[in-house]
């Protein structure tokens, strides 16, 4: 597979969720480079991109991570190959997180990939990126010392 070019759609490979001292971390990992992104608090109700269906997310506060151009499908193959094979709904408690309650995919439509992150409270967050592999990392401050 060749490296991403400026206009290539970033292909979501996996999502990791975990608790660290002082923060809960959500990592979006891509096969071929980072997409553009926007991370912000939103007010429910949430709607799925494309269908407009309502999407429920556990938690008292919701952050949406919108990545563009990005997808869980590789459409360059003609028919489209699913590259992200993980769940569309991820339970934070199962991953041991304290602030992150749930992740829910709210869209993968026309090269815009969006995930909602339900939190127990509105907390500070920070965003980092990394390479090899390409990752978008969002850390949420948690309450436990």
Tokens 């993968």 appear where?
A: 108
- Domain holding 61, by residue range, is 10-141
Would you say residue 49 lies in a domain? yes
Residues 56 and 89: their CA atoms lie apart, in Å, by 10
Residue 2 maps to a domain: no
How many structural domains are present in the chain? 1
Flag whether 4 is in a domain. Answer: no
**116 and 75 Cβ atoms separated by less than 8 Å:** no
Give the model confidence (pLDDT) of 73-130 as tens digits.
998 767 778 899 999 999 998 999 999 999 999 999 999 999 999 999 999 999 999 9
Strand 73-74 to strand 81-82: parallel, antiparallel, or no bridges (unpaired)?
A: antiparallel
What CATH number is associated with residue 65? 2.60.40.3500
Alpha-carbon gap, residue 129 to 139, rounded angstroms? 11
* DSSP letter for each residue of 19-71: EETTEEEEEEEESS-PPEEEEEEEPSPEE-TTT--EE---SSEEEEEEEETEE
Question: For the whole model, what pTM was predicted?
Answer: 0.92
Among the listed ranges 19-28, 106-115, 135-144, which one has the minimum average pLDDT value? 135-144
| Closest to 113 (Cα-Cα) out of 17, 13, 3 | 13
């Amino acid at each position: 597979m060749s490296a991403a070019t400026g206009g290539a759609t970033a292909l979501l490979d996996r999502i990791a969720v975990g608790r660290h001292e002082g923060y809960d971390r959500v990592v979006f990992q891509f096969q071929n480079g980072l997409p553009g992104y926007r991370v912000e608090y939103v007010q429910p109700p949430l709607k799925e991109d494309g269908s407009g269906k309502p999407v429920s997310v556990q938690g008292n506060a919701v952050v949406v991570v919108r990545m563009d151009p990005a997808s869980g499908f590789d459409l360059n193959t003609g028919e489209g190959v699913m590259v992200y094979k993980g769940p569309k709904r991820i339970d934070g408690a199962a991953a041991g997180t304290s602030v992150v309650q749930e992740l829910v995919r709210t869209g993968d439509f026309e090269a815009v990939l969006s995930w909602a992150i339900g939190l127990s409270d509105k907390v500070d967050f920070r965003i980092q990126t990394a390479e090899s592999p390409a990752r978008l990392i969002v850390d949420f401050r948690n309450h436990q010392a």
